[in-house]
Amino acid sequence: MQFNNFDAAAFLRDYWQKRPLLIRNPWQSWCNPLSPDELAGLACEDHVESRLITQSSDDWNAEHGPLPETRFGELGKSPWTLLVQAVDQHVADVAALIEPFRFIPNWRIDDVMVSYASDGGGVGPHFDHYDVFLVQGLGQRRWQIGGMCDDQTPLRSHEDLLLLAKFETVEEWVLNPGDMLYIPPGIAHNGVAVGEQCMTYSIGFRSPSRKELIGSWCDDLMPQLTDDDRYCDPDLAVQQNPGEISALAIDRLHAMLTEKLSDRTEFARWFGEFNSTPRYPETDWRPEEPIEIDHLRSLLTADHPLLRNPASRFSYIQESESKLLLFVDGECFPCTDKVIGVAELLCAHDQFVIDPEWCTSDDVVGLLADLYNRGSLAFDWG
């Protein structure tokens, strides 16, 4: 799917992380990529993250999947909502929804969550810490937009749902199939299904917090540190007051911390691995039989297209004109020479054909074989 008339540069300038925007059916031709029954089937799978939100009066209940098939026949007439995470990893047509949003860097993209709601169903007034595009797939949903929230905003007491204690509507729209609503981080919003057969696709974007970055970066550094790397003061002089922690001591202690934390090169490599770690790393996507180098080379020279696994995360950092770091699913692959062009191709496109000239390089074919055997790449036999 592609946008018909959408100015990405103007959107980033005027709306991205600034204010909500309603976009009426911007697609060349909107076609709902998933049926309600297919979504329900995914919610019954062990390896798929899902939740069922049911409402009774002002009470909300959340059930975590996998859900038994019989559960949907027991729901009755009370409003309910089914939420399924990372549907793009399991349904190619849903993964295709991400393509028009590639004007935002790949490393920021999280997943496509899909929801189905009965009449009046929703997840309640809330806010998110990330950017999201809400695309109406089937039916109608009324979206109410509130004010800016943060971690100090009062929430209702609920074990599973982060519901706002108070919500005041500032703007309100009813979305029809193909309509899209962008909501920046921190903006309160509430979506309620209008009628039956309401499906919404949420394209979410990751935004790491300072807390997350510092904690994870330090966790990675800890194994590199030794107990004998300690504070020292061979030039210690007598102080007037032994109870004072001197400015010189604070400077040295602070330097012990910041010297390691401020290594930009090490941080860049760590962040590439950290950010490319799959959302569900426990899922094994490896092929049943590893591919041999010679067999792979023959397939590549025959122009068989390769596909990126939708569950895999690809990105790169350009260290210099002659060196690039490719990151795939939490692993770093240093690239030079012809491999640089291949790495850039892998990160730019979901599907591609390798230039026959590149197939003469053992380094290129070796990288592709490694990624294939990890389950990050596959051939398109369609």
Range(s) of the domain holding residue 293: 208-222+263-382
Q: Is the peptide bond before 66 cis (omega within 30 degrees of 0)?
A: yes
Tokens linked to 298: 């023959």
**What pLDDT does 382 receive?**
62
Q: Are 64 and 109 in contact (CB under 8 A)?
A: no
Closest CA to 369 of 339, 347, 349, 341: 339
Answer yes or no: do 157 and 213 share one domain.
Answer: no
CA 300 to CA 379: how far, in whole Å? 9
Q: What is the DSSP string of 61-115?
A: EEEESSPPGGGGGG-TTS-EEEEES-GGGT-HHHHGGGGGGTTS-GGGEEEEEEE
Answer yes or no: do 135 and 214 share one domain.
Answer: no
CA 334 to CA 86: how far, in whole Å? 29
Residue 311 counted as domain residue: yes
Q: Which residue has the tokens 């204010």?
A: 19
List, run by run, the mean pLDDT of 10-residue segments along the chain (382 residues). 90 97 94 96 96 87 94 90 97 95 95 97 95 98 97 89 94 97 97 96 96 95 94 94 96 94 94 95 93 93 92 96 96 95 95 90 96 95 69
CA 13 to CA 2: how far, in whole Å? 21
Answer yes or no: do 334 and 213 share one domain.
Answer: yes
Closest CA to 9 of 104, 95, 84, 81: 104
**What pLDDT does 380 receive?**
85
CA 177 to CA 137: how far, in whole Å? 5
Answer yes or no: do 175 and 282 share one domain.
Answer: no
Q: Which CATH number goes with the domain that contains 169? A: 2.60.120.650
Through-space distance between the first and last CA atoms of the chain, rounded to whole angstroms: 18
Answer yes or no: do 319 and 352 share one domain.
Answer: yes
Beta-bridged to residue 198, according to DSSP, are 117
Answer yes or no: do 271 and 181 share one domain.
Answer: no
Beta-bridged to residue 174, according to DSSP, are 142
Residue 49 counted as domain residue: yes
When divided into structural domains, the chain yields a total of 2
**What pLDDT does 198 receive?**
97
Answer yes or no: do 66 and 182 share one domain.
Answer: yes
Residue 323, sorted as left (phi over 0), alpha (psi -120 to 50) or beta, turns out to be: beta
Q: Are 185 and 206 in contact (CB under 8 A)?
A: no
User: How many CB atoms within 10 Å of residue 94?
Assistant: 26
Burial 6-17 (b: 16+ CB within 10 A, else e): eeeeeeeeeebe
